[in-house]
Amino acid sequence: MAAGGALLRALGFAALLLPALPRGSPGSAERRCFCQVTGHLDDCTCDVETIDAFNNYKLFPRLNQLLESDYFRYYKVNLKKPCPFWNDNSHCGIRDCAVKPCPSDEVPDGIRSAGYKYSEEANSRAEECEEANRLGAVDESLSKETQQAVLQWTWHDDSSDSFCEADDIHSPDAEYVDLLLNPERYTGYKGPDAWKIWNSIYEENCFKPQNVKRPLTSGRGDDGGQMFYKWLKGVCVEKRAFYRLISGLHASINIHLSARYLLQDTWSEKKWGPNVTEFQQRFDEVVTRGEGPRRLKNLYFLYLIELRALSKVLPFFERPGFQLYTGNQSHDAEIKNLLLEVLHLAKSFPLHFDENSFFAGNKKEAAKLKEEVRLHFKNISKIMDCVGCFKCRLWGKLQTQGLGTALKILFSESLIEKIPESGPSYGFQLTRQEIVALFNAFGRISTSVRELENFRAILRTMR
C-alpha cells in the first residue's frame, strides 16, 4: 500500500514506468481507466462512489488490523498437490514465486492443536487438545461425544453446501504459512503457463459455449466482443453473476500485481510499489479495447457479494461460545471484539446486494442450477493446484476458498437463522480454514478497491 509520503516516493518510480499510450488533455489517463467505473453497477442497486467511501475510510482500516492478528495471519495449505487436469510438473523458478512455510513452533499453540471447527463444546476441550503430539491432531485428544461432533462436521463439509475442494489439513504435505510474510505481489509468473490457468477457468467453467469468444483472447474475431456481451446479457442472472465474480477476482489479482510491483532489485535492497504501466496495460480503456473499465466494475460486483456474505454470517460469530482460539485468552477476546466490529460495519452498509434474485424460479430448476454453479466453482478451486508459481498458488487457493465460503454463506441463510445461541451448530458450520480464507479473501478485494484510489491519484498527475 502506497499512501502519504510513500505514495509521493512511488510517483518518482511511476514516472519512469509510464507506457507509450495515447495522450490527450490533462487527466485523460485517469478518464481512460476509470471512465465507465462510476455510478450504478449492473445487476445491483449500489453505486461505485458509495463503495469507495465506505471501504476506504470505514471498513478497510479495521479489516486490515484484524488480518494482522495471529488468528488470521496463519493459513494451512497443501502446495504440493498435483494438478488434476493435465500433466504439468513445471514450477516457476523465479525466487519471488517461493513460499516460506512456518516452522511449527512459530505457530501459536492454540492454532496448531485446534485444527477443527470451533463451537462452545470444542472450545471447552481446547486445553486437552493442546496436549496432542501430532500437528493438527483431533481424534486422539477428544472425548467420544466430541469425536461424534467432528464426524458430523466432516459429513457436513462433504455435503452439497461446499463450493470448494478443500485441502486435507491433516495431510503430511499441509503446512502453515504466515500470510504477512508471503504477501501477494508481482512474482514474474506469466506467459503460456499463467494464460493456460485463466483460459481453463473462463473457457471451461464459466458456462460459456465454445463458439462465443471472450474479448482479447485468441480467436476472438473482429466483433470487439459484441457476440460475447450479447450472450452474457442473454443468460440467467446466476450465470452472468458467476462470470462477473471470476472476472472480478481476476481484476483484483491484477491490481495487486500492479500495486506491489518489483520496481528495483539490487544487491542492497528491493523496492516494491505501484507500476502504472502494468496497471494501464490491464485496465486502460484504449489498450484493452474497452475491457479494462468492465473488469473494474466486476471487481466492485465481487466486493458486494463478499460484503453481503459477511453481513449474513454475523449470528454465527456473535454466539458467546464462539472463540477465535489461539491460546492467548485476553488477545483472543480482543480480536473477537474487533471481528464483530468489522461484521457490524459490513451489516451497516446501506446498499447491500440482494441475493434473493438468485435461484428464485421453479424449485426443481433452481436446485439444478445451484448444483451446476457449485460444481463449476468447485472445479475452479481444483484448477488452483495447477498454478506453477507457489506464491500465486497460495493466494489463488485462499481467495477461491474465501469466495466459495461466501457463496456457501449466502445460500445457507435459513440454516444460519436457526443457529442456537449456545452449543454446537450442526446445520451450519465453518472450519477455521474457511474463516481465515473468508476474511483474507475479502481483505484482498478491499485492498484492491483502496489501491484504485492510489492509481487514480497517480494517473491524475499525468499530463
Nearest in space to 74 (alpha carbons), one of 193, 231, 181, 192: 181
Whole-prediction pTM = 0.83
Which runs of consecutive H residues, i.e. helices, occur in 94-143?
Answer: 109-113, 120-123, 126-130
- State the total domains in the chain: 1
- The whole-angstrom separation of Cα 321 and Cα 196 is 45
All three cell numbers of 173: 504435505
- What pairs with residue 178 in β-bridges? 74
Instruction: Say how far residue 293 (Cα) sits from the centre of its chain.
Output: 20
All three cell numbers of 401: 476458498
- The whole-angstrom separation of Cα 428 and Cα 412 is 7
All three cell numbers of 75: 493459513
What is the identity of the amino acid at 6? A
* DSSP reduced 3-state for 270: strand
CB atoms within 10 A of CB 132: 18
Residue 198 marked in a binding site: yes
Residue 400 marked in a binding site: no
With b meaning 16 or more CB within 10 Å and e meaning fewer, what string describes 279-301?
Answer: bbbbbbbebbeebbbbbbbbbbb
Say if residues 369 and 359 touch (Cβ distance below 8 Å): yes
Whole-Å CA distances, 411 to 58, 127, 152, 230, 415: 27, 34, 20, 28, 9
Residue 272 marked in a binding site: no
Main-chain phi, psi angles of 176, to 5 degrees: -80, 140
Residue 250 marked in a binding site: yes
pLDDT tens, the chain, 463 aa long: 444 444 434 433 333 344 444 444 444 777 777 766 776 677 776 778 999 999 999 999 999 999 999 999 999 999 999 888 877 655 665 677 888 888 877 888 888 875 443 444 444 433 333 333 233 333 333 445 444 544 444 444 444 467 877 888 888 888 999 999 999 988 887 778 888 889 899 988 888 888 888 887 655 555 667 888 888 889 888 889 999 999 999 999 999 999 999 888 777 788 889 999 999 999 998 888 889 999 999 999 999 999 999 999 999 999 988 888 888 889 999 999 999 999 999 999 988 887 777 777 777 888 888 888 888 899 999 999 999 899 999 999 999 999 999 999 988 888 888 888 776 666 788 989 999 999 999 999 999 999 999 999 998 887 6
- The whole-angstrom separation of Cα 322 and Cα 110 is 14
CB proximity list for 9: less than 8 A, separation 6 or greater: 2, 273
Main-chain phi, psi angles of 92, to 5 degrees: -60, 125
Domain that holds residue 187: 1-463
Active site residues: 389, 392
